[in-house]
Amino acid sequence: MNFQPLGNRVLIKIAEESTTTASGIIIPDSATQKPSQGEVVAVSKEVDTLKCGDKILFSKFAGNEVSFQGTKYLVLDTDDIFGVIN
Question: Would 1 be classed as within a structural domain?
Answer: no
The H or E element that residue 17 is part of is none
Give the C-alpha separation, 56 to 46, whole Å.
18
Number of structural domains (the chain) is 1
Is 61 inside any structural domain?
yes
Q: How confident is the model at residue 33 (pLDDT cuts 50, 70, 90)?
A: low
Check if the beta carbon of residue 74 is closer than 8 Å to that of residue 65: yes
4 within some domain: no
Q: Is residue 62 part of a domain?
A: yes
Q: What is the pLDDT of residue 81?
A: 93
Q: What is the pLDDT of residue 57?
A: 92
**Assigned domain for 21 exists:** no
pLDDT single digits (tens) 7-30: 999 999 987 665 666 777 776 656
Instruction: Tell me the per-residue pLDDT of 55-74, one tens digit each, with 9 for 90 and over.
Output: 999 988 889 998 888 888 99
**Enclosing domain of residue 56:** 9-16+28-85
